[in-house]
Chains A and B, each alone.
Chain A
């Protein structure tokens, strides 16, 4: 005859084993998790802005300049990767990489002769505060796919 409570202890052991062991093999496998949120320690990030020739702001997503960062490792514990982006939180993308990515996307904006991309690096400005660490980098990128009337 089984001792009283043996099944209970087996259940308890299984629970502890599952919640201790699964995170050893997978960062995220909901409801198991290593809880990796905000484990990074970024020292800077970039803010992007894209404007048309009239100075109107454009959505960043079609240009691949959106920020995918939400404190968690990208793609961990979710079914889909975010849309590809040049922005990696904590890093400053080189201007030529930004320009190349945006030019690729300009095919979808044939009515625009060019766009302006503004990259602002946010980081420590002194030993107390954070903010823009320098003047923004502004790129004027002509659209090789432009089919509209000349401006």
Chain B
């Protein structure tokens, strides 16, 4: 695929259902995560020397970083921002408020802690990405909301999905790579897994008992984790292998939760939504269930400068980008293009099916 074609493809837009599903999942996941990091404030625990920089907030003075009230303020702002974002108010600033306040809650925990957990990194990265979506598409979003056509306007850019795939794939890929670089293939020796299970495993879990009872089983699980994580890089570029890698990584987290109880539930949901083919399934599901606009619906469309109904962007068709069937629903074009905005690309006529 040529670079211009690749860039055009990234600019393609679909109806917002998938994006809103992911965003809703992120916000639902972020609430308990923020609650955990607020309640687990480590300020009074014993610690050694100050170190850093540890977070993007490390440039702030310690008087701010080490004051719990700063984190509580971030928590309140996060909650307020999330409510405003969900209700589509004060966009795109409510989106940024949510993403940055969540970053603040977790970063301020880390600034005061001696131990870090990685349960919030992916959620945080995608919140920033989705704030970017609402920021860059703010005019289209505002117009769609103003005309009560948000759900019928192709407003979710493909680059948001592609960046999600990159964020998830690189997060796990780098984690796998670190294991190769730090310990080599000997990482999956089975002994280390047994030691971790002995230390932190739930003694009542059948999985813990199986790991402790048989090193070959422990080593097999480690190989699965090592291959699954490293394959995160492959998932960025291979659409065909992505669901299988997603399933492997979801299984990896199911095992983690069953044995150790670590809170990677949000990562599991992100993996499911980004690596399993929801991006392709959901538009088709919506197309089958949402009735096509009624006859005369075009009369409600805003008119172009000459009073003509604007042409449909070919890339707006649901599922057209993913090789789906010709969609029965014709989504309405982005509104700002007809309201003195930039001229949309001319339709080529027939909807093309790309793979």
Instruction: Give the interface of A toward B (CB within 8 A).
Output: 1-5, 7-9, 11-12, 15-16, 19-20, 23, 26, 28-45, 61, 68, 70-72, 75-84, 122-124, 127-130
Contact = CB atoms under 8 A, between A and B. Distances in A.
The 9 closest A-B pairs by CB, nearest first: A35-B175, A81-B48, A80-B47, A79-B111, A5-B11, A39-B182, A30-B55, A41-B183, A12-B159
A127 B121 contact: no
Interface string B108-147: 0011111110101100110011001001110000000000
A72 B337 CA distance: 50
- Most chain B CB within 10 A, of A5, A39, A44, A122, is at A5
Nearest to B173: A35
B50 interface: yes
Contact of A82 (B47, B58, B172, B191): B47
Contacts of B114: 68, 75, 78, 80-83
19 contacts: A4-B344, A5-B11, A8-B11, A12-B10, A12-B162, A28-B54, A30-B55, A30-B124, A31-B121, A35-B118, A36-B178, A40-B183, A41-B189, A68-B114, A75-B51, A77-B116, A79-B58, A80-B47, A129-B194
A8 B120 CA distance: 25
A41 to B, nearest CB: 4
B241 to A, nearest CB: 20
A29 B116 CA distance: 11
A79 B11 contact: no
B29 interface: no
Contacts of B7: 9
Interface of B: 7, 10-11, 46-56, 58, 65-66, 103, 106-107, 110-116, 118, 120-121, 124-125, 128-129, 132, 135-137, 157, 159-160, 162-163, 166-167, 170-172, 174-175, 178-179, 181-183, 186-189, 191-192, 194-196, 198-199, 212-216, 337, 342-345
Contacts of B188: 41
B195 A79 contact: no
Contacts of A26: 53
A79 B182 contact: no
Given A16-B163, A31-B106, A36-B182, A84 B50 contact: no
A9 B49 contact: no
Nearest to B52: A79
A123 B190 CA distance: 11
Contacts of A9: 7, 10-11, 159
B285 to A, nearest CB: 26
Nearest to A35: B175
Given A9-B11, A20-B170, A35-B175, A30 B54 contact: yes
Contacts of A28: 54, 116
Contact of B47 (A23, A83, A124): A83
A123 B125 contact: no
Given A30-B107, A39-B178, A78-B114, A19 B53 contact: no
A115 B23 CA distance: 57
Given A4-B11, A45-B195, A19 B344 contact: no
Given A81-B48, A130-B198, A30 B106 contact: yes
B125 A38 contact: no
B157 A80 contact: no
A129 B136 contact: no
A124 to B, nearest CB: 5
B159 A80 contact: no
Contacts of B118: 33, 35, 37
B226 to A, nearest CB: 10
A34 B174 CA distance: 6
B143 to A, nearest CB: 14
A46 B194 CA distance: 14
Contacts of B132: 11-12, 15
- Most chain B CB within 10 A, of A61, A80, A128, is at A80
A79 B188 CA distance: 31
Given A29-B53, A35-B175, A130 B110 contact: no
Contacts of A3: 342
Given A34-B178, A72-B115, A81-B48, 14 more contacts: A4-B337, A4-B343, A30-B56, A30-B103, A30-B106, A31-B107, A31-B125, A39-B182, A41-B187, A68-B114, A75-B51, A78-B54, A79-B110, A123-B191
